[in-house]
Chains A and B, each alone.
Chain A
Amino acid sequence: GAGVSQSPSNKVTEKGKDVELRCDPISGHTALYWYRQSLGQGLEFLIYFQGNSAPDKSGLPSDRFSAERTGGSVSTLTIQRTQQEDSAVYLCASSLDGRTQETQYFGPGTRLLVL
Chain B
Amino acid sequence: AQSVAQPEDQVNVAEGNPLTVKCTYSVSGNPYLFWYVQYPNRGLQFLLKYITGDNLVKGSYGFEAEFNKSQTSFHLKKPSALVSDSALYFCAVRRGNFNKFYFGSGTKLNVKP
Question: Which residues, 1 to 54 on A, are CB-close (under 8 Å) to B?
Answer: 4, 33, 35, 40-45, 48, 50
- The residue in chain A whose Cβ has the minimal distance to the Cβ of B92 is A43
A93 contact set on B, CB distance < 8 A = 44
Q: Chain B 35-64 against A: per-residue CB contact (8 Å), 1 yes, 0 no?
A: 010000111111001010000000000000
CB of A106 within 8 A of CB of B44, answer yes
Chain B CB count within 10 A is highest, among A41, A58, A100, A104, for A100
Interface membership of A91, Cβ < 8 A: yes
Chain A residues with CB under 8 Å of B43's CB are: 4, 91, 106-109
Kindly identify which residue among B32, B41, B46, B106 contacts A100, using a CB–CB cutoff of 8 Å: B32
Given A42-B90, A100-B32, A101-B51; A56-B46 close (CB under 8 Å): no
Q: Restricting to B61-78, which residues have a CB under 8 Å from any CB of A?
A: none
B contact residues around A50 at 8 Å (CB): 99
Quick one: which of B95, B98, B100, B105 has the most chain A CB within 10 A? B100
Residues of chain B within 8 A (CB-CB) of A91 are 43-44
Q: Is the CB of B51 within 8 A of A45?
A: no
A61 at the interface (CB under 8 A from B): no
Query: How far does the alpha carbon of A44 sit from the alpha carbon of B36 in the complex, in Å?
Result: 15
B86-113 CB contacts (< 8 Å) to partner A: 90, 92, 94-106
CB-defined contacts of A4 to chain B, threshold 8 Å: 43
B25, CB-defined interface residue at 8 Å: no
Give chain A nearest CB distance to B105 CB in angstroms: 4
Residues of B within 8 A of A58 (CB): 100
* A48–B51 CB distance below 8 A: no
Q: Which B residues are CB-close (under 8 A) to A104?
A: 34, 46, 101
A108 in contact with B42 given A42-B103, A42-B105, A43-B103 (CB within 8 Å): yes
Of all chain A residues, the one with the shortest Cβ separation from B50 is A101
- Considering the complex of A and B, which 8 residue pairs feature the smallest CB-CB distances, nearest first? A106-B43, A43-B103, A42-B105, A106-B44, A42-B103, A108-B43, A101-B51, A48-B99
